[in-house]
Amino acid sequence: MGHKRLWLIFTFVVVASFAVLGYYGKEIYREAPPQPTRVITTDGKEVFSGLDIKDGMNVWQSIGGQEVGSVWGHGAYVAPDWSADWLHREAVFMADRMSEEKFGKKYEELPDDQKASVRISLQGELRKNTYDAATGTITISPLRAEAIAHNSKHYSDLFMKGENLDELRDAYAIPANTIKDEKRMHMMNAFFFWSSWACVTQRPGQEITYTNNWPPDKLVGNEATGSLILWTGFSVILLLAGIGLLAFYYAVNHGDEVEHDKLPKLDPLLGLSPTPSMSATLKYFWVVCALMVVQVILGAVTAHYGVEGTAFYGFPLAEYLPYSVTRTWHVQLGIFWIATSWLATGLFISPAVSGHEPKFQAAGVNFLFVALLIIVVGSLAGQWMGVMQKLGLEANFWFGHQGYEYVDLGRFWQSFLLIGLFLWLFLMVRAIWPAFRQQQENRHLLMMFLIASAAIALFYAAGFMWGRHTNLAIAEYWRWWVVHLWVEGFFEVFATVVIAFLFTRMGLIHSKVATLSVLFSTIVFLAGGILGTFHHLYFTGTPTAVLAIGASFSALEVVPLILLGFEGYSHFRVSKAAKWLQAYKWPIYFFVAVAFWNLVGAGIFGFLINPPIALYYMQGLNTTPVHGHTALFGVYGMLGIGLMLFVLKGMASRHVWKDGVISFAFWSINIGLALMVLISVLPIGFLQTLASVEHGFWYARSAEFMQQPGMDTLRWLRVIGDTIFTVGILALGWFVVGLKAGFSVKEKIDLNSDGLL
């Protein structure tokens, strides 16, 4: 297939996909769970104001938001899902009152037929939509108002300093006095009520709730709908069809690889002389290693909070660094170091491809480096101040903690980062533009490189589409533009193009073959990836059509992951084809690891939770971090490390690396990641899934279930994988330091040498 046809297909896929994404985005705005102006009882008493609910969301965000438990299934996993927990507690209180009134006993003491009678009455009250669009009010019964007051007392004791809940607070890793003000607590209770109200209230004219009957809870009538099963089956069919077409494509195009006898006899990068701006990227990679080490240490602390509550081996660490802070920093630093590695690789490769060093390019690279350091330090400090309740709600939104997982940094730091991304784009374009004008052979590849670079800057701007009081359903829609389209989408396209450039520059792939491969891979990836964004939004207050589209296209997302697996194996075979390629063994091995974790982490573990019926029971359980760790670190982290090593090798191509430490680091990181998941997080997730199916989602996330001795043992088993993984990361950092200090290299070869070994 020629370049022109592929470009036409690429354009159609992107335009059509974003048209659908935009249209249903408008539907999400139109059908989002309404934010009322008041919540009142049938006798006219105001329970919550609309501002209470909106400001209550800001209070929840200020303590960490999705880093402290979850809402609608999105967030952290130690504390409960507050929407599910509030809903079940409210329902139990009301069921007990109804049972006592009608039969003189609590609900659990009744025989099955009487329980059924109470359930029908309870569901009739909870599921009925009493929102009046004309007045903006939600009307509830006095009994439900009592249940709200009962829940409010429980949550106030939990988040403030109720001495009777010390043990439960410890189980949730929530320090006493997380909320220090009664007014703030009242507002957060209002938000929790509204988030649970959306989970149980039926959409006007329909028999499903605003969250498509999520979370599973038979007491309130939340059970899986037929559409979940229908679209799950359809997604499996699409997956099989996609894999079949992919296999056919590879069967037809097999043999496009470069013949071994046509590979360069010497390393083409031996004569590379890094320009000042290329050399200036070295400090980026030092920071990458430092952030990586800190991130892994914070991950170990965060995981430990799951077994020891608010302490770290007896030390009351949560008084200074609560779980919500360590988890926030752990997630954010992961994104920071991965993105920094990729951005620095782009800055290095642009002058290398064009052979042109623009005036003041090195100064621009250095300025961007300082700006990124300020963003990292400033945003982390602001998040700590927000969680420690040292900022007002508006100041927290701008400088503290936004409360949305992966987009936690305050709006000011978010703005600063966006400016930095556009500065990076400017530096990239000015360095590579001469090559685009002169190199006819690589022009298509360069065009894709520029498109991917522009998309990285542009799509981060989606994080500015919500404000401080934006409806949670709408904020979630835009948040996943950032998380899915920015991180999982166009960063992957960018990385694919960069690897193609590297391999083309080294003579491993013909330029034409590389260009066709990149265009085809991008088309296949984006065909499922753009609309696959909707699989994150099944149960976040979106219409059923979102579920249907998300299920269908998220299945197609798995297809290109198999393609990447083939490419990884191809790279591995090529790496054995010439003696000089042994110098690039470890960068290539990390690329092979990317292919492996793409198939296992993003593919198998991703599809494990993505089908609607699976996600209905699994969303917010430990099956999610199984996918999160193996995809985020396994794919993007390994890719960031591989790119870093490639650049470090390119900066000093005549230095021969010692294999010992880097070999140990590679295998320790991969084995540790596998053990972390397989002997701890995945078994916990499967047990939670069984509990979710049998008893309800609230139970699968409850302290009653999670604090059982067997679950505690499984959490402790994670220490094995975490330790091996951490030692591997430390070894990698030590190796990179050794490249500068000299103890990671063994000799410097001559340009006239016959090879590297």
Region of 338 on the Ramachandran plot (φ > 0 left; ψ -120 to 50 alpha; else beta): alpha
| pLDDT of res. 8 | 92
590 has a pLDDT exceeding 60: yes
| pLDDT of res. 558 | 72
578 has a pLDDT exceeding 80: no
- Number of residues that this document lists for the chain: 757
In tens, the pLDDT along 451-479 reads 888 988 898 999 999 999 999 999 999 99
Q: How far is CA 389 from the centre of its chain?
A: 26
Average pLDDT in the chain: 89
| pLDDT of res. 572 | 62
**pTM of this structure:** 0.93
The CA–CA distances, whole Å, from 141 to 44, 109, 440 equal 10, 25, 73
pLDDT band at 755 (very low <50, low <70, confident <90, very high): very low
Q: What is the DSSP letter of 37?
A: S
The CA–CA distances, whole Å, from 392 to 176, 351, 388, 400, 685 equal 20, 46, 11, 9, 37
| pLDDT of res. 757 | 43
Q: How far is CA 358 from the centre of its chain?
A: 36
- d(CA 503, CA 435) in angstroms, rounded, equals 17
| pLDDT of res. 440 | 62
In degrees, rounded to 5, the angle at the alpha carbon of residue 430 between the alpha carbons of residues 425 and 650 is 85
11 has a pLDDT exceeding 50: yes
Lowest mean pLDDT among 57-61, 216-220, 401-405, 541-545: 541-545
Judging by DSSP bridges, how do beta strands 74-75 and 46-49 pair with one another? unpaired
In tens, the pLDDT along 694-749 reads 999 999 999 999 999 999 999 999 999 999 999 999 999 999 999 988 899 887 66
- d(CA 575, CA 598) in angstroms, rounded, equals 20
Lowest mean pLDDT among 493-497, 636-640, 665-669: 493-497
**Domain residue ranges in the chain:** 32-223
Tokens of 433: 């533009």
| pLDDT of res. 336 | 94
397 has a pLDDT exceeding 80: yes
254 has a pLDDT exceeding 70: no
| pLDDT of res. 353 | 81
- The answer to whether 501 and 475 have CB atoms below 8 angstroms apart is no
Lowest mean pLDDT among 209-223, 332-346, 403-417, 574-588: 574-588
- d(CA 405, CA 619) in angstroms, rounded, equals 15
Q: What is the DSSP letter of 80?
A: P
649 has a pLDDT exceeding 80: yes
Q: At what angle do helices 443-459 and 511-529 cross, to 10 degrees?
A: 30
- d(CA 391, CA 398) in angstroms, rounded, equals 10
350 has a pLDDT exceeding 50: yes
| pLDDT of res. 487 | 72
Query: Which contacts of 412-420 are long-range, i.e. CB under 8 A and separated by 24 or more positions?
Result: 412/382, 413/375, 413/378, 413/379, 413/382, 414/463, 414/464, 415/464, 416/371, 416/374, 416/375, 416/378, 417/375, 417/460, 418/457, 418/460, 418/461, 418/463, 418/464, 419/371, 420/368, 420/371, 420/372, 420/375
Give the residue, 612 or 238, on which the prediction is more confident: 612
- Taking the CA atoms of residue 515, residue 518, residue 521 and residue 526 in that order, the dihedral angle to the nearest 10 degrees is -120
Best CA proximity match to 408, nearest among 333, 337, 299, 356: 333
Bridge partners of 185, per DSSP, are none
Give the residue, 158 or 443, on which the prediction is more confident: 158
Average pLDDT over residues 77-89: 97
- Per-residue DSSP letters for 376-398? HHHHHHHHHHHHTT-S-HHHHHH
Give the residue, 497 or 461, on which the prediction is more confident: 461
753 has a pLDDT exceeding 60: no
Q: What percent of the chain has pLDDT over 70?
A: 92
Average pLDDT over residues 213-218: 96
Average pLDDT over residues 49-77: 97
Query: Which contacts of 255-261 are long-range, i.e. CB under 8 A and separated by 24 or more positions?
Result: 256/513, 256/517, 257/513, 257/570, 257/573, 257/574, 258/507, 258/508, 258/509, 258/510, 258/513, 258/574, 260/577, 260/578
Residue with tokens 């409960």: 80
Report the chain's C-alpha Rg in angstroms: 27
In tens, the pLDDT along 277-303 reads 999 999 999 999 999 999 999 999 999
- d(CA 368, CA 5) in angstroms, rounded, equals 38
- The answer to whether 268 and 581 have CB atoms below 8 angstroms apart is no
| pLDDT of res. 495 | 77
Average pLDDT over residues 190-207: 97
Listed ranges 212-221, 307-316, 436-445; the one with the highest mean pLDDT: 212-221
Average pLDDT over residues 170-186: 95
Q: Which phi and psi angles does 657 have, rounded to 5°?
A: -80, 145
Q: What is the DSSP letter of 589?
A: H
In tens, the pLDDT along 92-149 reads 999 999 999 999 999 999 999 999 999 999 999 999 999 999 999 999 999 999 999 9
| pLDDT of res. 561 | 65
Average pLDDT over residues 667-691: 96
- d(CA 405, CA 211) in angstroms, rounded, equals 19
435 has a pLDDT exceeding 90: no
| pLDDT of res. 414 | 96
| pLDDT of res. 540 | 94
398 has a pLDDT exceeding 90: yes
